[in-house]
Amino acid sequence: MARVMTPDAPLATGRVLRSDGRKGPKVRQAVSRRQTLWIWLFLLPTVLLYGLYTLYPIVASYWYSLVEWNGFQADQRFVGIANYRAVVADPAFWSSVKITLVFMLLVAPARILLSLLLAMVLNSPRLPLRGFFRTVYFLPVVTTTAIVGVVMQFVFDPASGPVTSMLKLVGVDQGIDFLGDSGTALVTAAAVYVWKFFGITMIYWMAALQTVPNDVYEAARIDGAGAVKIFRHITLPLLMPFLLIITVLTVEDTFHAFDLMQTMTGGGPFFSTEIIEIYIYRWAFNASIPQLGFASAAAVLFGVIVMLVGVVQAWALYSGRKDRGTVR
């Protein structure tokens, strides 16, 4: 969940060696054979673990998607692209793609914009108790998603859950089955998801806001700019690059909703909250005869979708940068 990265850090690996400028090539020469041995020894644990549990699976998925394979103990039989044909012909697959994307569109804007609003309020030095509020609004992030999912089943229980009791208080007597009705389940799940991971985006925004030097605001205020003007002409332009990065991080995050969905709705009712990860899980682990080849084909297509969304965002990031370059 919490993902941390420094995108441009590793790309400049060589730079530190030549940072003193004078003896550029000499230092690189200093990587002796003995050092090379140490370097690879240091890399060994990562190469082994990451290779076995991340890289190999990515490659193996492609092979598995081309075989008929009914159970982990069963034999594999090469069938070509038959699995892909079956997946593409399955309306349930497309329904899960649609639900994954709808979920993303419900969740990402809410997380990004609402948390910006809160971060701006919490960032103001004149707000009392800001540390306390930050803790409270961040708290759901650290709790175990799978357990929150189970608890939410009870919180939204239409017979005696607390949400129903609250609604009775304001005059809604008929309990609403938020998670049990296929019309409301996805929206409810999206709301819970926003609540659960809201704090991460809020912290992103607070970090972004802290990069705006306070003198800029001071100067604007002295010049007589009001709060709205300050936001429109100072805060917003300065936050634009962050908006893109935060959008990328948040959108990628919405593809990891398995824990919450599986424990809260299990993909139901009537598959109305079945995101792709649950679809894959259902065919691979929850079927009477596991269809591992079929599920692998769905997984590969899922990977392609995640990649496509990533490419679109990278393109937006790139062209956004270019646009700003020409404006200046």
Partner 1 sequence: MTLVTPTRQVPAAPKPPLGRRLARRAPWWIAVLLLAAVAVLWIYPFIWMVSASLKSSMEVFTAGLRIIPQAFAWDNYSRAWNDAGFSRYMVNTVIVTVATVAIVVVRCALCGYVLGRYRFPGSRVIIGILVATLFVPTGYTIIPVVKLSMELNLLNSLTGMVLALSGAANVSAILIYAGYFRQLPKELEEAAVVDGAGFFRVFFTIMLPLSMPVTATVALLTFLSTWNAFFLPLVFSFSSPQLRTLSVGMQAFVGENATDWSGMAAAGVVSILPIVVLFLFLQRFFVEGIAGAVKS
- Residue number, 35 or 319, with CB nearest to partner 1: 35
Count of chain residues binding partner 1 (CB under 8 A): 116
Distance CA 158, CA 175 (A): 5
- Residue number, 2 or 236, with CB nearest to partner 1: 2
Using CB under 8 A, which residues numbered 246 to 265 contact partner 1?
A: 246, 249, 252, 255-256, 258-259, 262-263
Contact 22, 264 (CB under 8 A): no
Strand duo 67-68 + 77-78: pairing? antiparallel
Q: What's the min distance (Å) between Cβ of 92 and partner 1?
A: 16
Q: Does 162 bind partner 1 (CB under 8 A)?
A: yes
Q: Find the helix or strand (DSSP H, E) in which 84 lies.
A: helix 82-89
Q: Does 151 bind partner 1 (CB under 8 A)?
A: yes
Q: Give the rounded distance of the alpha carbon of 14 from its chain centre.
A: 31
Using CB under 8 A, which residues numbered 267 to 286 contact partner 1?
A: 276-277, 280-281, 284-285
Q: Does 308 bind partner 1 (CB under 8 A)?
A: no
Q: Does 19 bind partner 1 (CB under 8 A)?
A: yes
Q: Does 113 bind partner 1 (CB under 8 A)?
A: no
Q: State the virtual CA torsion across 65, 69, 72, 73 in degrees, nearest 10.
A: -150
**Token pair 């909703």: residue:** 257
Contact 293, 209 (CB under 8 A): no
Distance CA 224, CA 220 (A): 6
Using CB under 8 A, which residues numbered 64 to 83 contact partner 1?
A: 64, 72
Q: What's the min distance (Å) between Cβ of 161 and partner 1?
A: 9
Which window, 40-48, 77-85, 89-97, 315-323, contacts partner 1 (CB under 8 A)? 40-48
